[in-house]
Amino acid sequence: MEESGSGVAMWNAELLNAGAVVDRAPLTSAGIGRNSFAAVGALSGSCSRKQIAVTAITRNSVRVERCGANASQLERAAGPPVLVLAKGHAVDVLDGDVLWLSAGKHAVRFVKVEPAAPADAPAAAAVVAGTWEVKLGGDFKAYGAEEQR
């Protein structure tokens, strides 16, 4: 599987039932199929073990290819309503698109998950002028503001 660019967004596949999310799984090179969603167990036999292969993940899209014998359909979040995927044909899926793994069954929505922003570095502690002691030649000696200049 090809990943493009540093800081590539992660993608999740959300299994839907009547529009509600019933399970979620991160997209990997293993693809999507009958056993991809642990919370619901195996999907029906109309969905192959590897119905959809994930061939590339980029910041803005995921390239998928239908591998299974059963027809899969893609509903774009914006654009043409339904695209039937031909077996072996790759297509780019965008954030919010819904892929039906088997004609009208098992809707999976693709969701981009942006990496968390790095936490701000803590502010450096203020340096306080004062008298310090340093160990010189086995003894502690005063090292104050006068010696620091």
63-105 pLDDT, tens digit each:
999 998 888 999 999 877 788 899 998 999 999 999 999 877 8
**Model's pTM, two decimal places?**
0.69
Name residues whose C-beta falls within 8 Å of residue 44's C-beta, 6 or more positions apart in sequence: 34, 102, 105, 106
C-alpha dist (Å) from residue 121 to 50, 77, 116, 124: 44, 38, 15, 9
Model pLDDT, residue 130: 62
Residue type, position 49, single letter: R
Nearest to 73 by CA among 28, 103, 43, 30: 103
Residue type, position 1, single letter: M
**What string of pLDDT tens digits covers the 149 residues of the chain?**
455 444 456 899 999 988 899 998 888 877 898 888 887 777 877 788 899 999 888 888 899 999 988 889 999 998 777 888 999 989 999 999 999 998 778 999 999 987 776 766 666 666 566 666 777 777 777 766 565 55
Model pLDDT, residue 26: 87
